[in-house]
Amino acid sequence: MQPRQEQHLAELEPARDEPRVFLDYTQQELDRNFNQRGWASNAEAVIAKYKERSFESRKHLRLETVRYGASSDEILDIFPASTRNAPINVFVHGGAWLHFTKDDYSFVAMPLVASGITTIVLNFTNLPQVSLPEMIAQVRRGIRWAAQNATQFGGDPEALCVSGWSSGAHLAAMALVNTVDEPLPPGSVNLAFCVSGPYDMEPVMLSARSAYVKITKDQQRLLSPRHNAGGYDTSFFLAYAEKDTDEFRRQSLDFAAVLDRTQRLAGTQCFSGLNHFELAETLGIKGSPLSDSLIEKIKTFARQ
């Protein structure tokens, strides 16, 4: 594990006789590590800005909403770039697999569209209305739709990136696994840009999140990106926040090491001074380090 941040040491140090449930975490520690809001005192204020900036984005950008699947939630928003044959970024939103819709994350399109990148923000059904495998299947269907219809909305089908934040990073990574039934066609996605995600479901299911994430013991490995690294033909860039929880930072570095062994790692970056929610906010801020990194990576991989 990575060393804990100094300010959390005192409150997280377990009693000597308290049992560990995963690595060196006690139950209390593990539960706390899967509660990002407990590590960010400004979480509610930052999330409120997602909604405000998303509303403004939908007012100022061209927008087309399209159905990509059979269920009522399987819709997506296309924010087209001003030029034809533009690179495409499909964004998968976070929210602990439980919260939010595409409308809360339109803000990510602003700097991308301004940089000539057509942006698609996916909608899908959250837990517990559907199972986690069905959430992943919906995200995969959305990505497939984008790849198959790229030329129709002015995008370049050979320059497709998939990005995701928090639980959306997990969903994006799982949607790209090619050892499942009905995988994406080989070479469909040039780059996966995953931000502050959980990539191992074992500690998730040992934490308080098991109250609503209902998967079997056998499914834990099947639904964990770190255990599916041999099933990727896409390169991954992994980003995370300095003030993410200990476990989320550990999982980013652990998944990076696994991807490196399978030669699918395009890089990692820790963004200093930011918490989990602040880092997501910067995706929608032109000139921010995270937004600039995403734009640079999309354009680099579009040329390969």
The two most distant CA atoms of the chain are separated, in Å, by 63
The whole-number pLDDT of residue 5 equals 43
Give residue limits of the domains in the chain: 6-302
The whole-number pLDDT of residue 3 equals 40
- Cα–Cα distances (Å) from 251 to 44, 65, 194, 215, in that order, read 24, 34, 12, 19
The whole-number pLDDT of residue 16 equals 55
The whole-number pLDDT of residue 9 equals 39
Residue with tokens 């989990």: 276
Report CA 108 to chain centroid distance, whole Å.
12
Q: Which residues have CB under 8 Å from 169's CB, separation 6+?
A: 92, 94, 194, 195, 196, 197, 198, 199
CB atoms within 10 A of CB 148: 14
Q: Please, what CATH class does the domain formed by 6-302 belong to?
A: alpha beta
The whole-number pLDDT of residue 108 equals 98
pLDDT in tens, the chain (304 residues): 444 443 443 444 555 578 999 999 999 999 999 999 999 999 999 999 999 999 999 999 999 999 999 999 999 999 999 999 999 999 999 999 999 999 999 999 999 999 999 999 999 999 999 999 999 999 999 999 999 999 999 999 999 999 999 999 999 999 999 999 999 999 999 999 999 999 999 999 999 999 999 999 999 999 999 999 999 999 999 999 999 999 999 999 999 999 999 999 999 999 999 999 999 999 999 999 999 999 999 999 987 7
- Using CB atoms within 10 Å of the CB of residue 154, give its burial: 0 to 12 exposed, 13 to 18 middle, 19+ buried: middle
The whole-number pLDDT of residue 302 equals 87
CA distance 105 to 102: 5
| Nearest of 19, 13, 134 to residue 74 by alpha carbon | 134
The whole-number pLDDT of residue 15 equals 52
Number of C-alpha atoms within 13 angstroms, CB side, residue 35?
A: 11
pTM above 0.85, yes or no: yes
Q: What are the tokens at 225? A: 């990106």
The whole-number pLDDT of residue 7 equals 44
The whole-number pLDDT of residue 1 equals 42
